[in-house]
């Protein structure tokens, strides 16, 4: 790389070297829960890896962390190096792989001569081949570097080369805004009460209609920050269209060298249309004459890009839960990506509510499945012990939701289950099983208090 190019890139990415007022964190809305968790990890040696769907806010969180290190912790600005590796100006040099990182870091060390610990932020690291080798090498040399990395593909932390960082990094998954964060961005304040579901319900009952209004908007536009902040429906649609194309092109088609882009695109649109329903790989591929193996591969690429998720049938028998012929339910990382990318938008509040609940459970649970006997249980959550959830976004829960929940509780010998409703709060005992009916908005606010599953070391 030409030294002039390196100088320009370092200066452009790190305006805080010269003027804190130009720092990338200035004017952004704080993602407090993520920042608090990351700050708890800053004193350990392991690298921190922020992983999640493109445009979910990883770069913003990184910038906010830089601001806190400088303004709260007193870290000298020139001890914090930020490299934005998805920059279009970097593209001509990506063929250098980790050699590019060598040149950028060597120039920084010589130019700025930082004393003490260096905080090295490698943002959108998926663009650089062999970055795991480079980070592992510096880590094993016991250099005083705190690595904070971000990436937009799950394969980065599951690949063969990722094993080089096994035990050397902690992974935090970043999602679009939760409903609680969405309310904050809309300047809506909610009260904790005593912190229980009932306490939150009572403390905020006076503004329930307002909260339902915002939840309805959240169902439609989702939680990607730029979409939420856009002023017009046209702007929201344009941004969401661009996001979807960007994710599919850069995180599905290109890294997996897929030639038949049209097959991937039509499969993706079908899933967007039929989210939160049960599918088999065979049923997904049949309209387009795609083989089961092809659909399975394409779907994995979608999940590696954090765009789609699947919920498998729950069974204590591994053979049943892994059966490829058994239907699985498919969810989307964000409702807005779905609603704004359909040719004819069709927000279905029932399925949107189920999708929101699923994505919230993913943040705090190690395994989210479904179960079906005569009736269906939307979510079987395995987190130490089993918990059963149904979503019935109505003011009066349907009988099928109650019957299905009781059937599931009997199947797994569990005493109580939770049914998430629109505005119905009640406890019922049916056939000896306790059913808690809780408004979804209450549960979403409460769930933000347990924002992360236990840390994953990888």
Do the bridges between strand 47-51 and strand 145-151 make them parallel or antiparallel, or are there none, so unpaired? parallel
Find, among 418, 386, 424, 393, the residue nearest to 405 by Cα: 418
The answer to whether 83 touches 104, Cβ cutoff 8 Å, is yes
Give Cα 366 distance to the centre of its chain: 14
Q: pLDDT tens digits for 355-368?
A: 999 999 998 887 89
Is residue 256 exposed (0-12), middle (13-18) or buried (19+ Cβ within 10 Å)? middle
Is residue 43 exposed (0-12), middle (13-18) or buried (19+ Cβ within 10 Å)? exposed
Tokens 């030409």, located at residue:
2
**DSSP tag of 165:** G
What are 82's two structure tokens? 């930020």
What are 132's two structure tokens? 């795991």
Alpha-carbon distance of 198 to 208, in angstroms, equals 13
Tokens 């954090």, located at residue:
306
Beta strands in 362-455 (DSSP E): 367-372, 376-383, 385-391, 416-421, 426-430, 433-439
Q: Which residues on neighbouring strands pair with residue 173, listed in sequence order? A: 51
Alpha-carbon distance of 395 to 403, in angstroms, equals 17
The answer to whether 363 touches 452, Cβ cutoff 8 Å, is yes
pTM listed for this prediction: 0.91
Torsional sign, CA 238, 239, 244, 245: positive
What is the pLDDT, as a whole number, of residue 82? Answer: 98
Q: What are phi and psi of 213, to 5 degrees?
A: -60, -50
Alpha-carbon torsion angle 420, 422, 425, 426, nearest 10: -60
Q: What are phi and psi of 451, to 5 degrees?
A: -80, -25
What is the pLDDT, as a whole number, of residue 326? Answer: 84
Give Cα 46 distance to the centre of its chain: 22
Torsional sign, CA 101, 104, 110, 115: negative
428-458 burial code (b ≥16 CB/10 A, e <16)? eeeeebebbbbbbbbbbbbbbeebeeeeeeb
What is the pLDDT, as a whole number, of residue 270? Answer: 92
3-state secondary structure labels for all residues of 60-90: HHHHHHHHHHHHCCCCCHHHEEEEECCCHHH
Contacts with 19 (C-beta within 8 Å, 6 or more apart), sequence order: none
Is residue 308 exposed (0-12), middle (13-18) or buried (19+ Cβ within 10 Å)? buried
Alpha-carbon distance of 232 to 210, in angstroms, equals 21
Alpha-carbon distance of 285 to 143, in angstroms, equals 51
* Residue-level pLDDT, tens digit, the chain, 458 residues: 999 999 999 999 999 999 999 999 998 888 998 999 999 999 988 899 999 999 999 999 999 999 999 999 999 999 999 999 999 999 999 999 999 999 999 999 999 999 999 999 999 998 898 888 899 899 889 999 999 999 988 766 655 444 556 667 888 999 999 999 999 999 999 998 888 999 999 999 999 999 999 999 999 999 999 999 999 999 999 999 999 999 999 999 999 999 889 999 999 999 999 999 999 999 999 999 999 999 999 999 999 999 999 999 998 876 665 666 789 999 999 999 999 999 876 779 999 999 999 999 998 887 899 999 999 999 999 888 899 999 999 998 888 889 999 999 999 999 999 999 999 999 999 999 999 999 999 999 998 865 544 434 43
Using left for φ > 0, alpha for ψ between -120 and 50, and beta otherwise, residue 97 falls in left
What is the pLDDT, as a whole number, of residue 455? Answer: 39
Q: Which residues on neighbouring strands pair with residue 146, listed in sequence order? A: 119
Q: Which residues on neighbouring strands pair with residue 123, listed in sequence order? A: 84
Sorted by where each starts, the structural domains of the chain and their CATH numbers stand as 3-173 (3.40.50.300), 179-457 (no CATH)
Q: What are phi and psi of 278, to 5 degrees?
A: -85, 140
Alpha-carbon torsion angle 27, 29, 33, 37, nearest 10: -20
């Amino acid at each position: 790389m030409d030294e002039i190019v390196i100088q320009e890139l370092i200066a452009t990415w790190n305006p805080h070297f010269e003027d804190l007022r130009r720092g990338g964190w200035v004017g952004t809305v704080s993602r407090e829960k993520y920042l608090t968790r990351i700050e708890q990890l800053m004193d350990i040696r392991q690298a921190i890896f922020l992983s999640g769907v493109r445009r979910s806010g990883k770069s913003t969180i990184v910038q906010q962390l830089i601001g806190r290190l400088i303004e709260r912790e007193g870290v000298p600005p020139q001890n914090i190096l930020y490299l934005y590796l998805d920059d279009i100006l970097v593209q001509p040099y990506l063929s250098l792989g980790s050699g590019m990182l060598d040149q950028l870091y060597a120039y920084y060390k010589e130019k700025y001569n930082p004393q003490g610990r260096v905080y090295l932020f490698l943002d959108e690291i998926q663009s650089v081949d062999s970055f795991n080798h480079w980070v592992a090498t510096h880590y094993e040399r016991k250099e005083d570097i705190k690595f904070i990395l971000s990436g937009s593909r799950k394969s980065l932390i599951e690949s063969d080369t990722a094993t080089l960082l096994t035990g050397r990094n902690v992974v935090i998954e970043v999602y679009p805004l939760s409903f609680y964060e969405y309310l904050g961005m809309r300047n809506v304040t909610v009260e904790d009460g005593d912190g229980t579901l009932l306490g939150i319900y009572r403390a905020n009952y006076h503004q329930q209609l307002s909260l339902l209004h915002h939840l309805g908007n959240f169902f439609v536009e989702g939680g990607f920050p730029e979409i939420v902040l856009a002023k017009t429906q046209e702007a929201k649609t344009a941004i969401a269209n661009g996001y979807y194309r960007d994710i599919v092109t850069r995180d599905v088609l290109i890294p997996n060298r897929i030639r038949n882009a049209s097959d991937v695109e039509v499969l993706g649109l079908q899933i967007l249309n039929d989210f939160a329903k049960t599918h088999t790989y065979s049923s997904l591929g049949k309209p387009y004459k795609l083989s089961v193996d092809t659909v399975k591969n394409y779907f994995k690429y979608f999940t590696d890009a954090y765009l789609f998720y699947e919920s498998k049938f729950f069974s204590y028998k591994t053979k049943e839960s892994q059966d490829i012929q058994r239907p699985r339910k498919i969810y989307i990382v964000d409702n807005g990506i779905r609603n704004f990318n359909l040719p004819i938008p069709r927000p279905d509040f029932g399925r949107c509510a189920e999708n929101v609940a699923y994505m919230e459970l993913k943040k705090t649970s190690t395994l989210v499945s479904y179960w079906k006997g005569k009736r269906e249980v939307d979510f079987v959550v395995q987190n130490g012990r089993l918990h059963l959830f149904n979503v019935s976004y109505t003011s009066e829960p349907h009988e099928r939701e109650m019957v299905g929940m009781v059937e599931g509780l009997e199947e797994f010998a569990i005493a109580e289950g939770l049914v998430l409703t629109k505005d119905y709060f009640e406890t019922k005992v049916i056939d000896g099983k306790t059913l808690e009916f809780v408004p979804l908005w209450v549960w979403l606010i409460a769930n933000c208090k347990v924002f992360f599953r236990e840390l994953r070391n990888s």
